[in-house]
Amino acid sequence: MRILLISHAFNSLTQRLYVELTAMGHELALEFDINDSVTVEAVELFRPDLILAPYLRRAIPEAVWRRYPCLVVHPGPAGDRGPSALDRAILRGEAAWGVTVLQAEAEMDAGPVWAAETFAMRPAAKSSLYRNEVTEAAVRAARTAIERLPDYLAGRWRPQRPLLQPLLPLLAQAERAIDWQHDDTATVLGKIRAADGFPGVSDELFGQPCQLYDAREFAAGGRPGELLGRAGQGLVRATVDGAVRIGHCKRRDGLAIKLPATQAFPEAAALPALAADDGAIRYWEVGAIGILEFDFYNGAMATADCQALLAAYRAAQARPTRVIVLAGGADFFSNGLDLNRIEAAASPADESMRNIEAMDDLCHAIIETGSHLTVAALRGNAGAGGAFLALAADRVWARDGVILNPHYKNMGNLYGSEYWTYLLPRRVGADQAQAIMRRRLPMGAAEARALGFVDAQFGGTGVEFIDRVLQEAAGLAAAPDFAARLALKCARRAADEAARPLADYRAEELGHMRRNFYGFDPSYHVARHHFVHKTPHSWTPRHLAAHRELGWRVPETA
């Protein structure tokens, strides 16, 4: 089938559907929902069998839904209606929630249902539920809906109209507001989680209006609403029955991008330090396996994060274990350099350079590890440098639903580093390496496995995945030929080093990066600016809009 995705952005759910439906043999194209006439034009060019809207902020034009089956993914159970579905479910403390694929009609979220799935809720941020439970349910529901299309067209199956709930409006900030004098910790956490990563909860810190994100319970207490101190880069604020740590804020004045709270508010330096770090890096052992988790917000790794992770990695290396598992975070393995903190730096070019050097130092330490076998375990998605960080490990294992974006070009034609010029061809061959770097599109775990970008993929939830990783890693550690494997790895590394030193790869990559950061072509700085400020799209890039490719024609049989 030809399936046109119409979406506000190529977000994680849209990418996942793009990958899954392509793998099922469908012909996919995407058009950003920019305005009605652009959507109508895209439909006329592509003449899809089906239109699927995974993430919309506006209604589909009538001229489109009257002529084509248009299915909308709604993050709520059948009958639920309105734009803040998941936010409201979190605030209400629902124990179970759902995803519905429904047909677009004049009235919002009122069309007949093609497929619906349910899932158990978790006490987690909206963005985390969206990237995990909602995405998995949406993929299942979209598959079911698409399988029903032939029967629908032949008149053998009709979607049913659910019992409709009232249409609830966009959740206003007034309804999200925290009442610091009365709200307990659970309520504050619920409110911030229901608004994370977008739009955040409007509040005030140091007398300045701002949005709050990334909250955790913190063991402290004080006068309700009082700022008690700093914990890593977060701020600790008292509730009526305890305290929360607020990790990220967006000020409304100045740069107005999401930053670690203490960076958004330098005044915080005067507060006492209640905890030395953010708790993003955790290390534990199971038998001969050391597990190093690094759960940085949004998978973004700033200079200091890379340095802290390198120190933790060195400590893990010093342990009498055999295998080190790099477990990334629950939602993201890594998304590479922290573009927000780079944007906020006095010199974004200098900070980009420092950040990539710190990232390369980390990759270097992993590649050069002679004492352990290393495994990168991707529970969540990885993009740009974060995807190549995984390749520094000896083995790369990914959860089934993981989406990889192993390329840098989308960020203003960045050349990239992380020793990718060494790591990628070594894994997939020179031709495939070039193809991967050029193609700009997301890749599913199955395709990554087929290409050799990852070595294995397992199914299940993040927790089930880590359990399986531990089993497999235990097998590696206990293998009778462990010593021989380690020796082979070291011999191979020594031979590679003799053929071309790692320092050479790094110098060449960083030569290109220096041009990206300091050269006359500002593409990277422009792309980063648009990325961190979330500038709305004004056109759909050609690599996504297949129907806009020169020479694209609707096949004769259509």
Interface residues with ligand COA (CB under 6 A)? 11-12, 127, 197-198, 258, 298-300, 335-340, 381, 383-385, 405, 408, 410-411, 414
Say if residues 472 and 373 touch (Cβ distance below 8 Å): no
Nearer to ligand COA, 51 or 384 (CB): 384
Considering the complex, what minimum distance in angstroms separates the CB of residue 357 from ligand COA? Answer: 13
Nearer to ligand COA, 328 or 383 (CB): 383
Helix (H, G, I), strand (E, B) or coil at 363: helix
Distances (CA, A) of 508 to 23, 240, 365, 512, 514: 36, 56, 18, 7, 10
34 Cβ neighbours under 8 A, 6+ residues apart: 536, 537, 538, 539, 540
What the block records as the tokens of 113 is 């249902």
Nearer to ligand COA, 340 or 374 (CB): 340
Say if residues 392 and 423 touch (Cβ distance below 8 Å): yes
Nearer to ligand COA, 61 or 383 (CB): 383
Q: Which residue has the tokens 């709604």?
A: 74
Considering the complex, what minimum distance in angstroms separates the CB of residue 361 from ligand COA? Answer: 15
Nearer to ligand COA, 313 or 408 (CB): 408
Phi-psi region of 232 (alpha: psi -120 to 50; beta: other; left: phi over 0): left
What the block records as the tokens of 350 is 């200098």
Nearer to ligand COA, 313 or 388 (CB): 388
Nearer to ligand COA, 176 or 258 (CB): 258
Nearer to ligand COA, 336 or 401 (CB): 336
Nearer to ligand COA, 16 or 230 (CB): 16
What the block records as the tokens of 235 is 């701020």
What the block records as the tokens of 340 is 């927000």
Helix 482-499 vs helix 462-478: crossing angle, to nearest 10: 90
User: Rounded distance, CA 363 to CA 361, Å?
Assistant: 6
Say if residues 373 and 325 touch (Cβ distance below 8 Å): no
Nearer to ligand COA, 69 or 383 (CB): 383
Q: Which residue is nearest to ligand COA (CB)?
A: 383
Considering the complex, what minimum distance in angstroms separates the CB of residue 369 from ligand COA? Answer: 22
Considering the complex, what minimum distance in angstroms separates the CB of residue 479 from ligand COA? Answer: 34
Considering the complex, what minimum distance in angstroms separates the CB of residue 151 from ligand COA? Answer: 33
Considering the complex, what minimum distance in angstroms separates the CB of residue 264 from ligand COA? Answer: 13
Q: 445-462 b/e with 16+ CB inside 10 Å = b? A: bbbbbebebbbebbeeeb
Considering the complex, what minimum distance in angstroms separates the CB of residue 320 from ligand COA? Answer: 34
Side chain identity at residue 503, one-letter code: A
Considering the complex, what minimum distance in angstroms separates the CB of residue 19 from ligand COA? Answer: 12
Nearer to ligand COA, 100 or 127 (CB): 127
For 416-469, the DSSP string reads --TTHHHHHHHHH-HHHHHHHHHH---EEHHHHHHHTSSSEEE-S-HHHHHHHH
Considering the complex, what minimum distance in angstroms separates the CB of residue 386 from ligand COA? Answer: 7
Considering the complex, what minimum distance in angstroms separates the CB of residue 257 from ligand COA? Answer: 8
Which one, of 147, 167, 149, lies nearest residue 158 by Cα? 149
Helix, strand, coil share (%) of the chain residues, nearest 5: 40, 20, 35
For 90-127, the DSSP string reads HHHT-SEEEEEEEE--SSTT-SPEEEEEEEE--SS-HH
Considering the complex, what minimum distance in angstroms separates the CB of residue 159 from ligand COA? Answer: 29
